[in-house]
Structure 1
Amino acid sequence: MARRSGRLSPLSRTFEPTGAGLSLFDALIEARAKYGAKKPILEDQERNPLTYTDLIRGAFALGRKIAGMTARGEHVGILLPSSSAVVVTFFALHAFGRTPTMLNFTAGIRNLKAACELAGVKRVLTSHRFVEQGKLHDLIDALETVAEVTYLEDVREKIGLADKLFAAAAGAFPKNFRAETKPSDPGVILFTSGSFGAPRGVVLTQANLIANVNQIAEHIPLDPSWVMFNPLPTFHCFGLTGGALLPILKGMKAFEYPSPLHVKQIPPLIKDTCASILFATDTFLNQYARSAERDELSGLQFIVCGAEKVREETHNLIRDRFGDVPVLEGYGATEAAPVIAVNKPTDNRRGTVGGLLPGIETRLEPVEGIPGGGRLYVRGANIMAGYLTLGGVIEAPPDGWHDTGDVVDITEDGWIKILGRVKRFAKVGGEMVSLTAAEDIATAVWPNSRHAVIAMPDAKKGERLVLVTDRRDADSTPLVAHAQAIGAPELAVPRKIIKVTEVPVLGTGKTDYVAIQRMAEADGLRAA
């Protein structure tokens, strides 16, 4: 058994979260009272801004219809892109005591059906337009075998005068009309990304989500006049909490965009919307920076990146093309609602994922064969209720501690540097080797390409490293040379290389290691 060696983040001793006793819908009502009922708070590519009152009325009008098809406490699936519609639908379910269950439409038919079965989803809300544009007919056909699919356009057509009058009255006196729920009740069901295996159902309480919003706002001062531009999907916790709940509950306009893949459309829209903050991943940000005109990103206050490591090349590209726009790398997990740490505009330390948010306790446990740092466990008000199991049982984290599976080092002032995931280490010739460090070597040699390193069984050395890359002329010689130049062990250099047209990624922008492992196995390790 590894020896426990934990410490409390200094900030966690003094942090007192505001709104700790509120439900999510009541937090929305309080935000309206604080920032103004007529303040535009939500917009999407249709360019039809909604005020706080518009959002609340829309939630009551839509929610009343959905309530007629569902039961109190029911897990209702949402299959929608980032948009005003997904936010209104999210709060519509909360207004009537239903639990939003966010479905990842990029996860594939098998994973989506499994998610619905795991969460007991009987009804899925989507839209005709989204299904048509995304060519998701096969997906819908498969979902209809496990749940009833309801289209929001059809629901809206049935909203009559009585519903509108109800919504108007509820908008004026929302606390008299909304379903009463507790902060400890489920706020959302999400599914982990599946980067390293099958996705798991995560139950986040309403208190978890509100706590993380408050932790972020305590860590980085936010201006209610700012605009948050979010192209990340709300089925991912980064897109939901950071891109939707954070701005709306803290008085900033949330601009929701349906796909991070629209590289040419997004930069001019960032300028046109006068966006202040952009949420992205390294992969997407790098593409936006290459596509954008010089004045299209320069108006941003800062950019927040998560889900994958931010490359030096991306930092430098933003600096050189757009001036003093900090790229703040952050770190989180769906189980933490999701943000655990993030850099600050006034204290941005490259190579780290930032400082711990206030209110988060940490514990490091030594990992055999890996010197320095330790396996990170976290505990706090933002940590999930637990994993969902078949039958609806929630498996809570032991004593509130969530095992991140990451090996990290933490400075005395609470800044985190990720050394790798426990699963992302290989034992080569008896030595523990970081697959992340091996990827860093490839990235340093070929910064404009995408790389992934996996471990495969080896009869002589136990395991061997395999580089999967879209660099067509990739060869191990420059990798060895770079490793020698920086003093890295030669064991960290992949000798087997598989060249591909495109390195698989998930819908969130993360590298899809499951697909890559299958690819390598199917390839039979035909290496360069």
Structure 2
Amino acid sequence: MPLLSALLADADRADFVVTPDQKVGRDDLLGWAAGLAAQLTGARIVAVHAAPGLPTVVAVTAALLAGVPIVPIPPDAGELERAHILTDSGAELILSDDPGAAGSSAVPVRRISGVRPGSVPPEPDPGLPALVLYTSGTTGAPKGVVLSRAALAADLDALAAAWQWTAGDTLVHGLPLYHVHGLVLGVLGPLRIGSRLIHTGRPTPEAYAANPGTMYFGVPTVWSRIAGAPTAARALRDARLLVSGSAALPVPVFDALAGLTGQAPIERYGMTETLITVSARADGERRAGHVGLPLDGIHTRIVDEVGDPLPDDGVSIGLLQVCGPTLLDGYLRTGGVRPAELIDGWYPTGDVATIGPDGWHRIVGRASTDLIKSGGYRIGAGEVEDALLLHPAVHEAAVVGTPHLDLGEQVTAFVVADPVTPEELITFVAERLATHKRPRTVHLVTSLPRNAMGKIQKKRLLDG
């Protein structure tokens, strides 16, 4: 089956893709993309200036039709980041209508008259690379993650089954078009499944409320803002699915959305290297603080520091490993792709998690920042953060382990809150969790550092 099977096989559909200033039918999109694809013949790899909007959708579609791997470049990338991505990937062309962003190597994303929807190249081999997505670079310069066409197809099909996602759906989101969430799920999903796509440009509560749909995608920051705008939240009551990902959804936001919209949101888990691997189901339970069950074809396990498996008892905290057809091919390196370092076929995610007897997963966080070893105890930062967020004065909380002479590490919290004392918050947590899990230090701050996807950057807190 072609990667963009619905785009290639379905009958024409007006307003197939809608953005704030443009809309295009299925036949027009295919013809536009086919004309651009013809200009990419012979290219080894191309970059896309991934600004939100229809030109990015067309550019990505064209490169996939041509069988040329795509490197999305964030529109707000700094000069050094942009130069690194272009140099490291070896991209020969930049698809963009912005000469200032693309320079002399730009290929405009303009319509080519006279190209019909049937004028598309043969379907490329499914094992070929489709995307090179650069990681955030928290452990050095960003790395190019190579994802095959087969991996993308397997993940989208598994999500379609889990979410009962069909051509009858209308997907609404305003997420960036250079990450797995916004690009793979939010653009390639509709092109493969056939659902209508409305991209709102920006993911504001007002934009989501103004665009009726059956599915909405957002990150926790988006959902938090929607939960804080009750009128906008209630406008989503007719939706079938509210999907949250890219970071843990705070339990108070989960509960607020359920109350305002009449349904609990769906949470899912994944990363650039594995795509989406775990999710709640459309027709199943939606459990606050948990991300659900492995998708079809995906296997997971948790292990200790020496690699021994830990039990699925809902209590043991271990290093999460996954395997299945959605894993990356490897990392882009000069002259080729360096395979990922798997452990007997398992990909070490770097995340820590618990798995319950019923298979439900709870992500504790990153092993480097969210697993705190204090006085012989293993403490998950997320559990302490959830307890802090139950306090009526607390708006945001981030918990990390900091050095302690006696305990090895101590639980330290950074909190955005209305007037409250650190002592009150320490006592509040101690009354709800085991004593050893209470923060020993609470820093009251005005904001927490976040990246473009809304994830709290705990390394910046640790670096002071």
Question: Counterpart in 1 of 2:28?
Answer: 54
* Superposed displacement of residue 244, structure 1: 1.2
1:113–1:430: structure 2 CA closer, same or farther, 3 Å change rule?
farther
Any stretches of 5+ residues in structure 2 without a counterpart? Answer: none
Q: Describe how 1:359-378 pairs up with structure 2 within 5 A.
A: 359-367=297-305, 372-378=316-322
Partner of 1:8: none
d(CA) in 1 for partners of 2:140, 2:237: 38
Q: Give identity over the alignment, percent.
A: 24
Highest RCO, 1 vs 2 (Cα 8 Å, sep ≥ 6): 1
Higher mean alpha-carbon deviation, 202-211 vs 357-366, is at 357-366
Alignment of 1:24-35 (within 5 A): 24=3, 27-28=4-5, 31-33=7-9, 35=10
* Counterpart AA for 2:236: L
Alpha-carbon shift at residue 205 of structure 1 (Å): 0.1
Secondary structure, aligned partner of 2:16? strand
Aligned to 1:483: 429
Pairwise mapping of residues 59-98 of structure 1 onto structure 2 (< 5 A)? Answer: 59-65=33-39, 67=40, 71-74=42-45, 76-98=46-68
What TM-score, normalized to structure 2?
Answer: 0.88
Shift of 1:336: 1.6
Q: How does 1:496-507 map to 2 (within 5 A)?
A: 496-497=442-443, 499-507=444-452
Q: Does 1:43 align with 2:18?
A: yes
User: What CA deviation, in whole Å up to 9, does each residue of 1:224-282 have, x standing for no partner?
Assistant: 2221012111211011122111122112101123233x34x323323xxx211110012
Does structure 1 residue 241 correspond to structure 2 residue 216? no
- The yes-or-no answer on 1:303 pairing with 2:242 is yes
In structure 2, C-alpha distance between the alignment counterparts of 1:453 and 1:242, rounded to whole Å? 30
- Cα drift, residue 377 of structure 1: 1.3
Is the deviation greater in 446-455 or in 383-392? Answer: 446-455
Residue by residue, what CA displacement relative to the aligned partner does 1:166-207 show, whole Å, maximum 9, x if unpaired? x22xx1353xxx155210101111122446765332110000
Evaluate the alpha carbon distance shift between residue 381 and residue 447 of structure 1 in structure 2; reply closer, same or farther with a 3 A threshold: farther
For the residues of structure 1 that align with 2:131 and 2:213, how far apart are their CA atoms? 27
Give per-residue Cα distances to partners, 1:393-433, cap 9 Å, x unaligned: 32234354211122222234432122333212233344333
Determine whether 1:396 maps to 2:340.
yes
1:81 aligns to what SS in structure 2?
Answer: coil
CA distance in 1, matches of 2:227, 2:408: 42
C-alpha distance 342-197 of structure 1, shift in aligned 2 (>3 A):
farther
- Shift of the 223–98 alpha-carbon distance from structure 1 to 2, 3 Å rule, reads closer
Count of residues in correspondence between the two structures? 455
Shift of the 345–106 alpha-carbon distance from structure 1 to 2, 3 Å rule, reads farther
Helix, strand or coil at the partner of 1:486: coil
Query: In the aligned structure 1, how far is the partner of 2:394 from the partner of 2:55?
Result: 36
Q: Which runs of 5+ in 1 are unaligned?
A: 1-18, 132-136, 521-528
Q: C-alpha root-mean-square deviation of aligned residues, in Å?
A: 2.8
2:210 to 256, 269, 275: 269
Stretch deviating more after TM superposition (243-252 or 463-472): 463-472
Indicate the residue corresponding to 1:190 in structure 2: 133
In the alignment, residue 268 of structure 1 is paired with which amino acid? A
For residue 414 of structure 1, give the secondary structure of its aligned residue in structure 2.
coil
> Which SS does the other structure have where 1:225 is aligned?
coil
SS at match of 2:365: strand
Whether 2:352 is the aligned partner of 1:414: answer: no
SS for the counterpart of 1:501 is coil
What secondary structure is seen at the aligned counterpart in 2 of 1:314?
Answer: helix
Letter of the 2:401 counterpart: A
TM-score by length of structure 1 reads 0.78
Tell me if 1:100 matches 2:70: yes
Is the CA contact (8 Å cut-off) linking 2:67 and 2:130 kept in structure 1?
A: no
Report the Cα distance in structure 1 between the residues aligned to 2:80 and 2:415, rounded to whole angstroms: 27
Task: Please state how far the C-alpha of 1:383 moved relative to its aligned partner.
Answer: 1.1
Q: Distance in 2 between matches of 1:478 and 1:198?
A: 41
**Partner residue, 1:358:** 296
Structure 1 residues 280-289 or 331-340, which shifts more? 331-340
Higher helix proportion, which one? 1
Cα shift at 1:89: 0.5
Residue aligned with 2:348, SS: strand
User: Which region of structure 1 is more displaced relative to structure 2, 329-338 or 112-121?
Assistant: 112-121
Q: Is the 8 A contact 1:41 1:248 kept in 2?
A: no
User: Alpha-carbon deviations, 1:118-138, whole Å to 9, x = none?
Assistant: 22224333343xx9xxxxx7x
> Which of 391, 394, 398 is matched with 1:452 structurally?
398
Contact 1:43 1:256 in 2 (8 A): yes
Tell me how far 1:311 sits from its aligned partner: 1.8
Question: How far apart, in 2, do the equivalents of 1:446 and 1:235 lie?
Answer: 36
1:483–1:490 Cα contact (<8 Å) kept: no
Shift in CA distance, 481/344, structure 1 to aligned 2, threshold 3 Å: farther
Task: Identify if the C-alpha distance between structure 1 residues 283 and 482 changes in structure 2 by more than 3 Å, giving closer, same or farther.
Answer: same
